[in-house]
Amino acid sequence: DTEVTQTPKHLVMGMTNKKSLKCEQHMGHRAMYWYKQKAKKPPELMFVYSYEKLSINESVPSRFSPECPNSSLLNLHLHALQPEDSALYLCASSQGGLAGTGELFFGEGSRLTVL
Amino acid sequence: ELKVEQNPLFLSMQEGKNYTIYCNYSTTSDRLYWYRQDPGKSLESLFVLLSNGAVKQEGRLMASLDTKARLSTLHITAAVHDLSATYFCAVDIDGGSNYQLIWGAGTKLIIKP
């Protein structure tokens, strides 16, 4: 099983809504990531969880709140978003640890539209 | 400033031709990755290059890494339409367990029948 599963695939929300994006992997990977990607741009790193601990937060606004309930699951809680937050949100995982190659396995993404 | 520069950023080519995409980076690193992205889709890992002189091949694509020159190439041989996509290179600047990557801007490749 080499899949990273993200839900929902599409999400439309208003600026006052609260929603969550979910990500799951069953590859035994110990590092999980949230990336944001705007059209025609490379992905931008938002958060990294390593061994279930938040290890990187790339100065992301507090309206994005990550959570890693266990080694297989990663959530991104969304609150009071702005229209400019509309983007493709990608979850990825990697083996983690110094023995890992760093290769990222991406989910299909959640396309978010903020009205 | 850490930079990863890809060129060209856009490439339109005919089927059957050969071409090379270049990825230059400004920091010391011996870990470089190539990813493919189809329009409206997610990213797919193509190659993982982990040492100087590494060469990997998959079908009509071949990637190489020269850490001394801080250069990676992605060579396309006898291109076919199915290879049309955007290709990103990414360089690991951490070398530790968190794998912070600096991404190139991407090369949009269009292969015409």
Question: Would you give per-residue pLDDT tens digits along chain B (113 residues)?
Answer: 789 999 999 999 999 999 999 999 998 888 999 999 999 999 999 999 999 999 999 999 999 999 999 999 999 999 999 999 999 999 998 766 567 899 999 999 999 98
Contact state of B97 with A98 under an 8 Å Cβ cutoff: yes
Q: Which helix (H) or strand (E) holds B103?
A: strand B101-103
* Residues of chain A neighbouring B44 (CB-CB closer than 8 A): 106
Mutation test of the interface with chain B: which of A104, A110, A111, A113, choosing the one with the most B Cβ atoms within 10 A?
A104
Does residue A113 have a pLDDT over 90? Answer: yes
Calpha distance A21→B11 (Å, rounded): 35
What integer pLDDT is reported at residue A13 of this predicted model? Answer: 94
Q: Omega into B39 within 30° of 0, i.e. cis?
A: no
Please, are residues A62 and A46 in contact by the beta-carbon 8 Å criterion?
A: no
Question: Could you count the other beta carbons within 10 Å of the beta carbon of residue A66?
Answer: 19
Confidence of residue A1 (pLDDT cuts 50, 70, 90): low
B83 touching chain A per CB within 8 A? no
B36 touching chain A per CB within 8 A? no
B96 touching chain A per CB within 8 A? yes
Dump the DSSP string for chain A: ---EEEE-SEEEE-TT-EEEEEEEE-S--SEEEEEEE-TTS--EEEEEEETTEEEEE-S--TTEEEEEEETTEEEEEEES--GGG-EEEEEEEE--STTS----EE---EEEEE-
What integer pLDDT is reported at residue B32 of this predicted model? Answer: 95
Structure tokens at B19: 């071409």
B48 touching chain A per CB within 8 A? yes
Question: Could you count the other beta carbons within 10 Å of the beta carbon of residue B103?
Answer: 21
Nearest to B97 by CA among A30, A28, A9: A30
